[in-house]
Amino acid sequence: MIQPVILSGGSGTRLWPLSREQMPKQFLSLLGDTSLLQQTLKRLEGVSVATPMIVGGHAQRFLLAEQVREHHVTLVLEPEGRNTAPATASAALLAQQNGDDPLLLVMPADHVIEDLSAFQGSVAKAEALAEAGYLVTLGVVPTHPETGYGYICRGETLEGGYRVAAFREKPDAERASELIAQGALWNSGMFLFKASRYLAELAAYEPHVVSACEAAVAGAHRDLDFLRLGEAAFKAAASVSIDVAVMERCRKAAVVALNAGWRDIGSFDALWAAGEQDAEGNVAQGDAQLHDTHRSLVVAQQRLVATLGVDDLVVVETNDAVLVAHRERAQEVKTLVASLSHAGRVEAQQSARVHRPWGHFQTVERGERYQVKHISVKPGGRLSLQRHYHRAEHWVVVSGTALVTLDDQVFWVSENQSTYIPIGAVHRLENPGKIALELIEVQSGAYLGEDDIERLDDVYARPDGEV
Tens digit of each residue's pLDDT, the chain (467 residues): 899 999 998 777 889 999 998 889 999 999 888 999 999 999 998 777 899 999 999 888 888 988 998 889 999 999 999 999 999 999 999 999 989 999 999 999 999 999 999 999 999 999 999 999 999 999 999 999 988 899 999 999 999 999 999 999 999 999 999 999 999 999 999 999 999 999 999 999 999 999 999 999 999 999 888 999 999 999 999 999 999 999 999 999 999 999 999 999 888 998 999 999 999 999 999 999 999 999 999 999 999 999 999 999 999 999 899 999 999 898 899 999 999 999 999 899 888 888 888 999 998 888 999 999 999 999 999 999 999 999 999 999 999 999 999 999 999 999 999 999 999 999 999 999 999 999 999 999 999 988 899 999 999 887 665 65
As a whole number of angstroms, the distance between CA 461 and CA 456 comes to 10
As a whole number of angstroms, the distance between CA 57 and CA 355 comes to 14
Largest CA distance in the chain: 76
As a whole number of angstroms, the distance between CA 223 and CA 226 comes to 5
How many of the other CB atoms lie within 10 Å of CB of 44? Answer: 20
β-strands 297-308, 283-291 pairing? parallel
How many of the other CB atoms lie within 10 Å of CB of 68? Answer: 21
Q: Compute the radius of gyration of the chain from its Cα atoms.
A: 24
As a whole number of angstroms, the distance between CA 169 and CA 188 comes to 12
Are 223 and 127 in contact, with CB atoms under 8 Å apart? no
Give me the domains of the chain, ranges plus CATH numbers: 2-264 (3.90.550.10), 268-342 (no CATH), 353-457 (2.60.120.10)
Note the residue count of the chain: 467
Collapsing DSSP to helix, strand or coil, 364 comes out as strand
> What does the DSSP 8-state code read for residue 331?
G
Are 200 and 291 in contact, with CB atoms under 8 Å apart? no
Q: Which residues pair with 418 in a beta bridge?
A: 396
As a whole number of angstroms, the distance between CA 316 and CA 333 comes to 12
Whole-model pTM?
0.89
Question: What contacts 180, CB < 8 A, 6 or more positions away?
Answer: 142, 145
As a whole number of angstroms, the distance between CA 67 and CA 21 comes to 17
